[in-house]
Structure 1
Amino acid sequence: MTLYFIFLVLLFSFANGQQSETNQEKCSARNYKPYQSFPGQYPWLVALLDQSDGLKVYIGAGSLISGKLVLTAAHILEDIAENDLVVRGGEYNVSTTDDCPHQDIQVSRIIRHEGYNKHNAANNMALLVLKTTFDKSINVERICLRTLEHSIDGGRCFFIGWGKENWDSEDYPTAIKRTDIGILGKAQCSAQLKRQVPSQQICGTGLQGRDSTGDGGAPLICIVDNQFLQVGIVNWGKREPTNTNFTLFTDVAELRFWIDYQLTYIMRMKY
C-alpha cells in the first residue's frame, strides 16, 4: 500500500523552454559523489503529487525521460485521473526553500502498460504525458534509458526517492534518499523464490532492513561506462533485517519496445 505524505506547496513561475534531447553529457557520472547528497545531484527524479483534495499530496516518484514525458510505475496511479496529477521536477528537500526552485506541471495523459499485473507486478510501468515542457536547469534534466546492449553485471546501482528509510519506522525523509542495490541474475533469483521471475523484472539485493514504501515509481539507476542509466523502476516492498529475499524491479530494457512504441504514438498525436 502506498503511504502518503504532504509536500510543502511552493509556487514558482518559469518561462517555457525546450530541453535538449541529444546532449549525452546529461547522463555523465563523472562528478557523482555517492556519499554526498546535494540539490541537483539527481535532476531526473520527479515527485508525483495528487491534488484531488486541494492539497498536493505525495504518492510516489518517477523519472524524466524527455521534456514532456515521465516514466513511473502503474501501481501508484490506480484510481487517479489526469486532472488530479501534478509532476514536480527539481525538488530536493521538501522542508526548505533554500535549495534550487522546483517546477510543477500538470499531466495531460496517463498511459498505463496494458499488460500490468498487480498480483506479481509484471509490466508495472506507466508513462505520463505533461501539458507543458520542463525548463532545463541545473536541477531538471532527463535520464538515459538502458538498452539490452548495456551490461549491468557488477555495476554500481541505487534508487532514489522520498520513501521511508527503515522497515520499522513511520518516518519519511525530507531530502532525497539513496538506497544502494546489487543486481543479481534471474536464474539465481528464480531458484530462491521457487518461481520463474518474469522477463520484465530485475532482481536486486540490498533492501534488507530498509523500506521502499513511498518510493514506488522511482528510477533504479546504474553507472555504466561512466554514465547514469535507468535500468529499472521501483515496485514496492520492505525487508526486515533477517529477510534475504531478492527485491524485484521493473526491467526498463526489456520493455523498451513498449516505451518506444508509445513515444511514436505520442509524437503522432502531438500531445
Structure 2
Amino acid sequence: MTIYFIFIVLLISFSNGQRTNQKKCSSADYNPQVSKAGQYPWVVAILDQRDWIHLYIGVGSLIAKNLVLTSVRILNDTSEADLLVRGGEYDYSTDKDQHHDDVEVEMIRRHEGFDERTATNNIALLVLKSAFDGNTNVGTICLPPPTGFTAFDGSTCFFNGWGKAKFDSEDYPSILKKTDITVISREECVRAIGAPVPTQLLCGTGLQGKDSDGDGGAPLVCIIQDQFYQVGIVNWGKQNATETKPIFYTKLEVFRSWIDQQIVIIRQTLK
C-alpha cells in the first residue's frame, strides 16, 4: 500500500470523521475515578529514537489513524527520522499490562509562526508512515469546529501525559497521569495576569502545586454535551502551591483552518 493511498484514507478519515465520529468521542462510559489502560486512547507518546535510545520527549493526540497533533516546542531540532510515535501505552514500567504500537514519522509540519517567548502558534502535525490499526487501546479524539463551537469557559477539563506530577519534583511517573484544569474566560484571564492574552491561547487554572514538564504537546480535553473534545494543547508550566495565575494552552478552535490547510499541503507533497 503506497504512502499516498494511506494518506487519502487519512484525509477522508479526518475531514469526514471529525464530523461523524461522535460515537467514538462519546464520554458516556467514562469514569474519571478509574485509571486503566485504554481509557484515553487518543494519547500518544512522542519518542526521540536517535542513538538507539527511545527517549520520551512529550505527548501528542491522534486526530486520524496516522495523523498526530502536538506542539512545536517539544520537537526542537528533530527530523522525521529521529521520531517515533507510541500508541496504546499506559505503564512504561512493564510490558505485561497491555500492547502498544510504535510507528515512525513520514513528515513534520511545524507552524511557521511559532514564538517560543509568547507560546503563540505552538502547534505541529506529524504524518505517520503507517496507521494505528488493530489496537483496541488506540483511537482518535474529536476537534472543535472552526466556528460556532459551544462555549466551554468554566468547564473542568484535563490533560494526560507521563511528565512530572509535582512541583519541582525530579520524578516522572511511569503510569499515564491525568491533570484536571478549569478553563476560564479571556476576560477573567486578563484580569488575573494584568496583561492582554493572545487570541491563539486558552487560559486555565488548577496547576497549583503541580508541574507539566514532560507533558508538552498533550491534548487538553473537555467533556461537552457528553462528548470528548480536544480544545487545547499543553505548552508548558508549573506552579507552587500558592500561585494562582492562569496557565496558557494553545487554543485549537483558532487553528482548525491551519490544520485543514496543512492537510492539503501534505496531500500535494505526498503525490
TM-score by length of 2: 0.90
- What corresponds to 1:61 in structure 2? 59
Write the mapping of 1:24-43 to structure 2, written as runs, cut at 5 A: 24-43=22-41
Structure 1 residues 144, 235: closer, same or farther in 2, change over 3 A? same
- What corresponds to 1:166 in structure 2? 166
User: Which residue among 102, 106, 109 is the counterpart of 1:108?
Assistant: 106
Write the mapping of 1:7-26 to structure 2, written as runs, cut at 5 A: 21=17, 22-26=20-24
Write the mapping of 1:130-145 to structure 2, written as runs, cut at 5 A: 130-145=128-143
**5+ residue gaps in structure 1?**
1-15
- What corresponds to 1:11 in structure 2? none
Cα distance per residue 1:207-266 (max 9 Å; x no partner):
000000000000000001101000000000100011111010000011111011112222
Letter in 1 for 2:72: A
Letter in 1 for 2:59: A
Q: 2: CA distance between counterparts of 1:71 and 1:220?
A: 12
Q: Which moved more, 1:113-122 or 1:91-100?
A: 91-100
- The 3-state SS of whatever aligns with 1:137 is coil
Q: 2: CA distance between counterparts of 1:29 and 1:264?
A: 31
User: Which residue among 121, 129, 144 is the counterpart of 1:146?
Assistant: 144
Letter in 2 for 1:181: I
Structure 1 residues 150, 269: closer, same or farther in 2, change over 3 A? farther
- What corresponds to 2:214 in structure 1? 214
Using the TM superposition, give the Cα deviation of residue 155 of structure 1 relative to its aligned residue in structure 2, in angstroms. 2.3
- The 3-state SS of whatever aligns with 2:197 is coil
Write the mapping of 1:58-137 to structure 2, written as runs, cut at 5 A: 58-137=56-135
Using the TM superposition, give the Cα deviation of residue 48 of structure 1 relative to its aligned residue in structure 2, in angstroms. 0.3
Q: 2: CA distance between counterparts of 1:154 and 1:195?
A: 20
Q: 2: CA distance between counterparts of 1:181 and 1:98?
A: 31
- The 3-state SS of whatever aligns with 2:268 is helix
Asked if the contact 2:21/2:142 (under 8 Å) is kept, the reply is no
Using the TM superposition, give the Cα deviation of residue 103 of structure 1 relative to its aligned residue in structure 2, in angstroms. 0.6
- The 3-state SS of whatever aligns with 1:77 is coil
Letter in 1 for 2:220: L
Work out the number of aligned pairs and report it: 255
Letter in 1 for 2:61: S
Cα distance per residue 1:185-205 (max 9 Å; x no partner):
112212222221110100000
Using the TM superposition, give the Cα deviation of residue 99 of structure 1 relative to its aligned residue in structure 2, in angstroms. 2.1
Letter in 2 for 1:124: N
Report the identity percentage.
52
Using the TM superposition, give the Cα deviation of residue 136 of structure 1 relative to its aligned residue in structure 2, in angstroms. 4.3
- What corresponds to 2:229 in structure 1? 229
Letter in 1 for 2:22: Q
1:180 matched to 2:183: no
Cα distance per residue 1:109-160 (max 9 Å; x no partner):
1100011100010010000011111114321111000234122133231011
Letter in 2 for 1:208: Q
**5+ residue gaps in structure 2?**
1-5
- What corresponds to 1:195 in structure 2? 195
Asked if the contact 2:63/2:140 (under 8 Å) is kept, the reply is yes
Letter in 1 for 2:238: K
- What corresponds to 1:49 in structure 2? 47
Asked if the contact 2:219/2:233 (under 8 Å) is kept, the reply is yes
Asked if the contact 2:154/2:185 (under 8 Å) is kept, the reply is no
- In terms of fraction of residues, the more helix-rich structure is 2
Q: 2: CA distance between counterparts of 1:56 and 1:241?
A: 33
Using the TM superposition, give the Cα deviation of residue 60 of structure 1 relative to its aligned residue in structure 2, in angstroms. 0.2
Letter in 1 for 2:209: G
